[in-house]
Structure 1
């Protein structure tokens, strides 16, 4: 099994710890897919040219995630601030707007697309400014897409026709709202739609058939990256087995495990004062 993630990379800066951790939706999903059992995992994104970018690359090396087709630009890495509340939920503090991914949008070349074609699945997200490339990407690989909380119809119309898997964060949604969103995505061409709802678990739909998954009890230290771990767990087991129930159960286990440590997948680094 082979997967590739295309999109964002950042260093999440924990203010109270004076440490940063490698992260970003695409990077988190890539690393967790490799940990979960994908034989080969790669990442394509835009790196800055600072110490933070070097640390992200170092962490990817430790996890055996290839980044040979990444770009590097003369700009800082994304450095969102993070604070944790008493329950371990992360609260983001907006970072600078002059980062590598703010000033450069990833454009895929024919060689990039040929490379992507060698993978079973490609994951990306609304954080990656990749929407103009989706119509080309889906001709080479099935696509998984994390919408986060982006549910506007105009945005769904732009993305859903080109993807197989859609993931949403919807702790604020009622079941009726979740069903309506799922049905809309199906009408636009997306086969599998999942909505994670925090402590309420997750609701998924495969071509209109509903699936429900509860959470796994665990000692929560930090919820950073739990949703990304859920996505990676689901993709890994679903590609292996094709079974929705097995994939969702494994995804919940992966999310629970990520809540037991700091950062999206670990590797703290001291912040310079």
Structure 2
């Protein structure tokens, strides 16, 4: 099966060193899913600056199809990052050409050749998910920690695999995941950082512990989890196995600097 990731990309620029790494939820999921063995593509906008070229080359080197990665006159999105201990802290975000991101009919026809389509909260893709649902694509979306955003309840009926970020397994998140399922999600998942993850499929809750590794940089951990989970789902594995695959991928990602 094939996965296409659509929407946000950015260069993660570490403030203390000036080192830049390609990233962004949609980009990261495409790269990580490719590393897990899936055929993947990324659709988005980068600028005509050096960062745009860096993003393009990095994705090509990692065997992600970039035939619908468009270079637009202007600047590539940039996120300033600081490390506090081994925890990444996001600073200023300059959206650049992604501020005007949209899809044309050629892009849409291309995307609809894929089995799974993934995007996230900053991807500017929400208007297209009802179409992808109607085209019977498997839909995935990362709502990050924006649990209270109005977008959640308007978009969730079009999402099969809904991912959220939270801190712990408690009554609030369990009720929340149940509500997301009732509103239309096939499976609702909360990544809980060092507390692992929690998923709900309408019948049962499933728990997965975080893997114990030496943490260098937490950048990309949530995106790696999503990629591992989705590749498991594409292989029709049980939810618990999908969670384990996600956890394994996230654990590997946090042992080095940058997302990938």
The TM-score range, normalised by the shorter chain, is: over 0.9
- Conservation of the 8 A alpha-carbon contact between 2:44 and 2:101: no
The correspondence of residues 164-175 of structure 1 with structure 2, limited to 5 A, is: 164-171=160-167, 174-175=169-170
The correspondence of residues 230-249 of structure 1 with structure 2, limited to 5 A, is: 230-249=225-244
Structure 1 residues 66 and 149: CA distance shift in structure 2, 3 A: same
Distance (Å, rounded) in 1 between the aligned partners of 2:42 and 2:53: 15
Q: CA RMSD in A?
A: 1.4
- Conservation of the 8 A alpha-carbon contact between 1:227 and 1:255: yes
Match of 1:45 in 2: 44
3-state DSSP of counterpart to 2:78 = coil
TM-score by length of 1: 0.91
Return the offset for 1:174.
Answer: 5.0
Distance (Å, rounded) in 2 between the aligned partners of 1:251 and 1:174: 17
* Equivalent residue in structure 2 for 1:100, among 81, 85, 97: 97
Residues paired across the two proteins, number: 259
Match of 1:269 in 2: none
Which 4+ residue blocks in structure 1 deviate beyond 4 angstroms? none
Distance (Å, rounded) in 2 between the aligned partners of 1:180 and 1:5: 29
Distance (Å, rounded) in 1 between the aligned partners of 2:183 and 2:122: 21
Distance (Å, rounded) in 2 between the aligned partners of 1:219 and 1:153: 34
- Conservation of the 8 A alpha-carbon contact between 2:82 and 2:88: yes
- Conservation of the 8 A alpha-carbon contact between 2:25 and 2:120: yes
1:215 aligned to 2:213? no
Match of 1:74 in 2: 73
3-state DSSP of counterpart to 2:163 = strand
Gaps of 5+ in 1: 266-273
